[in-house]
Amino acid sequence: MLNVTIDGKSIQVPEGTTVLRAAEQAGIKVPVLCDHPHLVPFGGCRLCVVEVEGMRTLQPACSLPVSNNMVVKTNSDKVQAARKFVLTLIFSDRNHFCPYCQVSGGDCELQNAALEMGMTHWDYQPNWKPYPVDASHPYLVIDHNRCILCRRCVRACGELVGNFTLGIEERGASSMLVCDLGVPFGESSCVSCGTCSQVCPTGAIIDRQSAYQGLEKKVERTPSICVGCSVGCGVEILTRDNRLVRILGLWDSPVNGGVLCKVGRFLPLDDDRERITRPMVRKDGKLQPVSWDEALNVITAQLKPLINQKTHGVAAIASPRLPVEALASFKKLFKDGFKSDLVTSLEEGATTTSASLVAQEMGAFETNLEALQSADCVVVVGADLYHEEQVVGFMIKRKLPANTALVVIDSADNEFTHLARATLNPVAGSESYVLRGLGAALVKLDLAKGTPAGMNAEAELKTAADKAGIRLEDLSRVASLIGMASRPVFVYGRKVNADTLKALVELSRLAGAGQSLIGVRGAANSLAAAQLGLEQPFKRNGHQAVYVALGDDQPSQRLVQEIEGVPFLVVQASHTSRLTAMADVVLPVEMWAETSGHYLNLEGRLQASTPALKPMEGVYSNTAAIEAVAMRLGIDVTVDWKAELQQSPAPVTLAIA
Partner 1 sequence: MSKPKISTDWMCGCAGCHMSLLDIDERILKIAELADIRATPITDLKEPDESGVDVGILEGGINNTANEEVAHRMRKRCKILVALGDCAVFGGVPAMRNFFTLEETLKRAYIETESTDSEGKIPDNPELARMTRVRAVHEVVPVDIFVPGCPPDPDVIYYVLSELAQGRKPELKGELLHWH
d(CA 89, CA 580): 60
The count of chain residues that interact with ligand SF4, using the rule CB under 6 A, is 52
Residue 118 binding partner 1, by CB under 8 A? yes
Among residues 204 and 571, whose Cβ is nearest to partner 1? 204
CA distances in angstroms from 463 to 480, 504, 573, listed in the order given: 19, 16, 50
d(CA 158, CA 401): 9
587 in Cβ contact with 572 (< 8 Å): yes
Maximum CA extent, the chain: 89
Residues 6+ apart with CB under 8 A from 206: 102, 103, 140, 141, 143, 197, 200
Cβ at position 487, least distance to ligand SF4 in Å? 23
Residue 125 binding partner 1, by CB under 8 A? yes
Type and span of the H or E element at 433: helix 431-444
d(CA 112, CA 129): 24
Residue 100 binding partner 1, by CB under 8 A? yes
> Sign of the CA dihedral 552, 558, 564, 566?
negative
Residue 390 binding ligand SF4, by CB under 6 A? yes
The count of chain residues that interact with partner 1, using the rule CB under 8 A, is 20
CA distances in angstroms from 146 to 102, 151, 558, 588, 639, listed in the order given: 11, 13, 49, 45, 55
404 in Cβ contact with 426 (< 8 Å): no
SS3 of residue 333 by DSSP: helix
Residue 403 binding partner 1, by CB under 8 A? no
Residue 77 binding partner 1, by CB under 8 A? no
Among residues 85 and 292, whose Cβ is nearest to partner 1? 85
Residue 190 binding ligand SF4, by CB under 6 A? yes
Residues 6+ apart with CB under 8 A from 304: 633
Applying CB under 8 A, the span of 117-125, 216-224, 319-327, 346-354 interacting with partner 1 comes to 117-125
d(CA 614, CA 244): 11
Q: Of how many residues is the chain composed?
A: 657
Buried b / exposed e over 568-589, threshold 16 CB at 10 Å, is bbbbbbbbbbebbebbbbbbbb
Residue 132 binding partner 1, by CB under 8 A? no
- Out of 54, 128, 418, 561, which residue is the one contacting partner 1 (CB under 8 A)? 128
| Strand ranges across the sheet with 220-225 | 220-225, 234-240, 243-249
Residue 126 binding partner 1, by CB under 8 A? yes
Among residues 145 and 224, whose Cβ is nearest to partner 1? 145
Residue 212 binding partner 1, by CB under 8 A? no
Among residues 180 and 499, whose Cβ is nearest to ligand SF4? 180
Q: What are the φ/ψ torsions at residue 197 (nearest 5 degrees)?
A: -70, -25
SS3 of residue 93 by DSSP: helix
Cβ at position 152, least distance to ligand SF4 in Å? 4
Residue 97 binding partner 1, by CB under 8 A? yes
Among residues 191 and 583, whose Cβ is nearest to ligand SF4? 191
Applying CB under 6 A, the span of 10-18, 375-383, 388-396, 531-539 interacting with ligand SF4 comes to 388-396
Q: Is 378 exposed, middle or buried (0-12, 13-18, 19+ CB in 10 A)?
A: buried
d(CA 161, CA 519): 20
Residue 56 binding partner 1, by CB under 8 A? no
Cβ at position 510, least distance to ligand SF4 in Å? 30
Among residues 57 and 125, whose Cβ is nearest to partner 1? 125
Number of neighbouring beta carbons within 10 Å of residue 651: 28
Binding partner of residue 457 among ligand SF4, partner 1, none, CB under 5 to 8 Å per kind? none
> Sign of the CA dihedral 69, 70, 71, 74?
negative
3-state secondary structure string across 173-208? HHCEEEECCCECHHHCCCCCCCHHHHHCCCCCEEEC
Among residues 262 and 578, whose Cβ is nearest to ligand SF4? 262
Residue 203 binding ligand SF4, by CB under 6 A? yes
- Out of 98, 211, 455, 624, which residue is the one contacting partner 1 (CB under 8 A)? 98
Cβ at position 532, least distance to ligand SF4 in Å? 20
Among residues 264 and 323, whose Cβ is nearest to ligand SF4? 264
Residue 115 binding partner 1, by CB under 8 A? yes
Residue 120 binding partner 1, by CB under 8 A? yes
**Site track 218-247 with ligand SF4 (rule: CB under 6 A), x = hit:** --------x-xx-xxx--------------
Among residues 177 and 371, whose Cβ is nearest to ligand SF4? 177
Among residues 391 and 582, whose Cβ is nearest to ligand SF4? 391
Among residues 149 and 579, whose Cβ is nearest to ligand SF4? 149
Residue 103 binding ligand SF4, by CB under 6 A? yes
435 in Cβ contact with 509 (< 8 Å): no
CB-based closest residue to ligand SF4? 264
Residue 210 binding ligand SF4, by CB under 6 A? no
Residue 54 binding partner 1, by CB under 8 A? no
Binding partner of residue 434 among ligand SF4, partner 1, none, CB under 5 to 8 Å per kind? none
Residue 557 binding partner 1, by CB under 8 A? no
- Out of 26, 148, 280, 613, which residue is the one contacting ligand SF4 (CB under 6 A)? 148
Among residues 63 and 104, whose Cβ is nearest to partner 1? 104
Cβ at position 104, least distance to partner 1 in Å? 4
Number of neighbouring beta carbons within 10 Å of residue 242: 13
d(CA 323, CA 332): 14
Going along 37-152, which residue ranges are E strands?
49-52, 59-60, 70-73, 133-134, 140-143
Among residues 178 and 586, whose Cβ is nearest to ligand SF4? 178
Binding partner of residue 130 among ligand SF4, partner 1, none, CB under 5 to 8 Å per kind? partner 1
Cβ at position 246, least distance to partner 1 in Å? 19
Where helices occur in 41-123 by DSSP H, the ranges are 77-93, 109-116
Q: Please name the amino acid found at residue 644.
A: E
Residue 130 binding partner 1, by CB under 8 A? yes
- Out of 59, 195, 351, 544, which residue is the one contacting ligand SF4 (CB under 6 A)? 195
CA distances in angstroms from 582 to 42, 272, 285, listed in the order given: 58, 20, 10
Cβ at position 350, least distance to ligand SF4 in Å? 17
Binding partner of residue 121 among ligand SF4, partner 1, none, CB under 5 to 8 Å per kind? partner 1
d(CA 217, CA 285): 50
Chain contacts with ligand SF4 (rule: CB under 6 A): 96-98, 101, 103-104, 108, 110-111, 146-153, 156-157, 161, 163, 165-166, 177, 190-196, 199-205, 226, 228-229, 231-233, 256, 260-261, 263-264, 389-391
Chain contacts with partner 1 (rule: CB under 8 A): 95, 97-101, 104-105, 111, 114-115, 118, 120-123, 125-126, 128, 130
